[in-house]
Amino acid sequence: MGFNEIKHTADWALLIWGENIETLFKEAARGMYALMSAQSSQTPRRIYEFSTYQTNLESQLVSFLSELLYCTEQEELIFDSFYFKLSDGGFAVKMEGSNITSIQRQIKAVTFHNLEIKQSNQGYQVEIVFDV
Amino acid sequence: MVRIQDLTRISAYEWEIPKSFRNDMRVPVRIFSTHEMLENSLDDRSLEQAINAATLPGLVGAVTIMPDMHQGYGFPIGGVAATEFPNGVISPRAIGYDINCGVRLLASSIEAEAALPYLEMLSVRLNQLCPSGVGTDGIVNLALPELDHVLKEGSHWAFKNGYANETDLRRTEENGMLTGAKPEKVSDRARKRGKSQLGSLGAGNHFIEVDVVDEIFNEKAASTMGLHTGMLAVQIHCGSRGLGHQICSDYVQEFQTAIQRYGIKVPDRELVCAPMDSPEGVAYLGAMRAAANFAFANRQLLAHAARQAFVDVFAGHFKDWQLHQVYDIAHNMGKLEFHEVEGRRLKVCVHRKGATRAFGPGAPGLPPEYQEIGQPVLVPGSMGTASWVLVGTRTSMLRSFGSSCHGARRVMSRSQAKKEIHGNRLRLELEDRGIHVQAGSMSELAEEAPQAYKDVDMVVETVTKVDIARKVARLMPVVVIKG
């Protein structure tokens, strides 16, 4: 599991991989926070719950990451622990995190640009482009 | 994969990809570009995206691409596409995340030479009064019911609250207010993001710049706009902030299923769309207009703050320190307009993504003082380089749905710029050239370095050669405020 930054002319992009869908989504969150250079206070711990039901995994991923972006801006929260409960057509996730202490770079949106979750030798991988 | 030999050369500055290039194209793609710029465009997916855009249902004429094109999301930046009302589609990505991202230009009678000793102070004061950067709140924090008034009234809300004058409204595209905005079609998420951000610049490529009018190319037009050689002017480049981004994200997600309901096939899921007369299309149009109004009000509040900075710094030192509005123009917008297409006058939705409206003389909607010269077209350059003021032409009405270019063309990735350019060093280089820089983040400054963009001059040269716009004035920066 992991992520790498990849070249994109006008924006930021990540290659993300994980052995299963939950890991892939967690790595996507970690990668996005890394691009933003987001730091948190670690304590006190905050719990946040989110669920999404979309027609495909790509839409679910965009929905999940968009929620995290919303939380950085409006709740001033970033998360480091994720507990997914997958079901048909979506998932619920319980997240733990803490207040943001600093963010260096703003990501404005998660895009569907070339977004395709593929199966690989390592499990799953996806490229995500962020609008900045 | 598109190759240069797939294009038909119409002239040295105009190219076409015929409808026959791919089976699913509904209209041809018309590109305004030099051979060199076109070859550079093959490095990214902008031409492929233009071909994909040419498959949208209800298109008329041609998908038209400006010389500052580069790869976007689904739809290329620098693209113009018109779909027939009411059955044609509206596509959120063909308008952009930052709905009504645009530029406002204000002119002054302050001589730059005489203002030199005050410019550093001006940069500090602008930076203090115009909120910018990651996570920064705007000049006003609105209660949600008040936000609805902004979403409906745009710059007129600013006027009622003492942030605008009548000239500001008259010299703003659509008088700063798109009718038909539907705040009720804006999600709670978008409203929450917007309520604290009105009157803020944001981050990324947005900026406030103080410029010197460096050269005049059309004395009559420049004089009508109040632009005179050697005088200071101010540009404000920003959009609808988190509110617009949230609206675009919400509707792109919703349209993923809408296209299935309407049996629409798109070659890229970023190009999702809905017929304008469908419930989804009507809802997006209403929400998009609301975001556009927010953006008009946003630039208006920043203009008000910039005027205050000019008062604070120049009052008492200069006889006239006022900033007069030249124009405010969107470059990410979808508008219902009438255009002549193949001999028929049609009502169409003109999607402009990274392209500005460029109406010629006599066009409806222009203020009386600009009826004779045509609409001002504002083309900011990359940081530290020239910006241009142009006017639209009658030719643009016939060839590009009354549209022109919007800026410089990005050629270097942000990650590459960050690796190759040191923010602090860049700031010192700009200071050495007499450009005062205030930036929230040195790494973001590096990402927006002039080296990351192709020179805007060639873009301007191209649009003037095809006569969709004409040169009025060139501006050179002396103060740059970045988020």
Inform me whether the pLDDT recorded for B102 exceeds 80: yes
Which residues of A are less than 8 Å from B138 in CB distance?
none
Residues counted in chain A: 132
Q: pLDDT (tens digit, 9 = 90+) per residue, B430-463?
A: 999 999 999 888 877 888 888 888 779 999 999 9
Inform me whether the pLDDT recorded for B382 exceeds 70: yes
What pLDDT shows up at residue B2? Answer: 87
Confidence of residue A11 (pLDDT cuts 50, 70, 90): confident
Inform me whether the pLDDT recorded for B231 exceeds 70: yes
Give the span between the Cα atoms of B145 and B295, in whole angstroms.
Answer: 18
Please give the residue of chain B at the shortest CA–CA distance from A103.
Answer: B134
Confidence of residue B136 (pLDDT cuts 50, 70, 90): confident
ipTM value > 0.95: no
What pLDDT shows up at residue B24? Answer: 97
Inform me whether the pLDDT recorded for A126 exceeds 90: yes
Are residues A73 and B70, on separate chains, in Cβ contact within 8 Å?
A: no
Please give the residue of chain A at the shortest CA–CA distance from B96.
Answer: A131
Which residue has better confidence, B393 or A86?
B393
Q: What is the mean pLDDT of residues B205-225?
A: 97
Catalytic residue among B331, B406, B422, B436: B406
CB B155 within 8 A of CB B173: no
- Which segments within B112-194 are labelled E, that is strand? none
Residues counted in chain B: 483
Confidence of residue B313 (pLDDT cuts 50, 70, 90): very high
Are residues A108 and B98, on separate chains, in Cβ contact within 8 Å?
A: yes
Q: What is the mean pLDDT of residues B233-245?
A: 96
Q: What is the mean pLDDT of residues B323-345?
A: 97
Give the span between the Cα atoms of B180 and B265, in whole angstroms.
Answer: 28
What pLDDT shows up at residue A9? Answer: 66
Q: What is the mean pLDDT of residues B35-48?
A: 90
Mutate to test the interface with A, among B77, B206, B413, B441 (most CBs of A within 10 A): B413
> How close does chain A come to B444, measured CA to CA in Å?
7
Q: In chain B, what percentage of residues exceed pLDDT 90?
A: 86
Q: What is the mean pLDDT of residues A11-15?
A: 88
Inform me whether the pLDDT recorded for B333 exceeds 80: yes
Are residues A112 and B444, on separate chains, in Cβ contact within 8 Å?
A: no
Which residue has better confidence, A42 or A109?
A109
CB B67 within 8 A of CB B463: yes
Mutate to test the interface with B, among A9, A52, A75 (most CBs of B within 10 A): A9
Q: What is the mean pLDDT of residues B42-49?
A: 90
DSSP 8-class letter at B92: G
Please give the residue of chain A at the shortest CA–CA distance from B412.
Answer: A9
Q: Which of A8-22, A37-51, B80-94, B192-206 has the highest mean pLDDT?
A: B80-94
Which residues of A are less than 8 Å from B97 in CB distance?
108-109, 131
**Rounded (10°) CA dihedral B192, B194, B195, B200:** 140
Write out the H or E segment, with its range, that includes residue B213.
Answer: strand B207-216
What pLDDT shows up at residue B134? Answer: 77
**Rounded (10°) CA dihedral B219, B221, B222, B225:** 150
Domain segments of chain A as ranges: 2-131
Between chain A and chain B, the number of residue pairs with CB atoms below 8 A apart is: 92
Q: In chain A, what percentage of residues exceed pLDDT 90?
A: 71
Which residues of B are less than 8 Å from A10 in CB distance?
70-72, 77, 410, 413-414
Are residues A108 and B72, on separate chains, in Cβ contact within 8 Å?
A: no
Are residues B242 and A59, on separate chains, in Cβ contact within 8 Å?
A: no
Nearest to A111 among B73, B443, B483 (CB): B73
CB B324 within 8 A of CB B226: yes
What pLDDT shows up at residue A10? Answer: 64
Inform me whether the pLDDT recorded for B415 exceeds 80: no
B26-29 LR contacts (CB < 8 Å, sep 24+): B26/B54, B26/B55, B26/B56, B26/B57, B26/B59, B27/B54, B27/B59, B27/B60, B27/B61, B27/B62, B27/B63, B28/B54, B28/B62, B28/B63, B29/B53, B29/B54, B29/B62, B29/B63, B29/B64, B29/B65
Q: What is the mean pLDDT of residues B346-366?
A: 97
CATH number of A2-131: 3.55.10.10
Distance from chain centroid for Cα B336: 17
What pLDDT shows up at residue B437? Answer: 94
Nearest to B270 among A56, A73, A112 (CB): A112
Q: What is the mean pLDDT of residues B244-261?
A: 94
Give the span between the Cα atoms of B323 and B308, in whole angstroms.
Answer: 10
Beta pairing class for B59-73 and B332-341: unpaired
Give the span between the Cα atoms of B247 and B24, in whole angstroms.
Answer: 29
Q: In 10 A of CB B291, how many CB atoms? A: 30
Inform me whether the pLDDT recorded for B377 exceeds 90: yes
Domains of chain B are 4-482 (3.90.1860.10)
Inform me whether the pLDDT recorded for B135 exceeds 80: no
B202 interfacial to chain A (CB closer than 8 Å): yes
Distance from chain centroid for Cα B39: 25
Q: Which residues contact A71 (CB under 8 A, 6 or more apart)?
A: A48, A77, A78, A79
Is B406 among the residues known to form the active site? Answer: yes
Inform me whether the pLDDT recorded for B83 exceeds 90: yes
Which residue has better confidence, B376 or B454?
B376
What Cα–Cα distance (Å) separates residue B398 from each residue in B88, B92, B244, B363, B395?
20, 25, 30, 12, 5
**Arithmetic mean of pLDDT over chain B:** 95
Nearest to A132 among B70, B204, B256 (CB): B204
Q: What is the mean pLDDT of residues B381-396?
A: 94
What pLDDT shows up at residue B25? Answer: 98
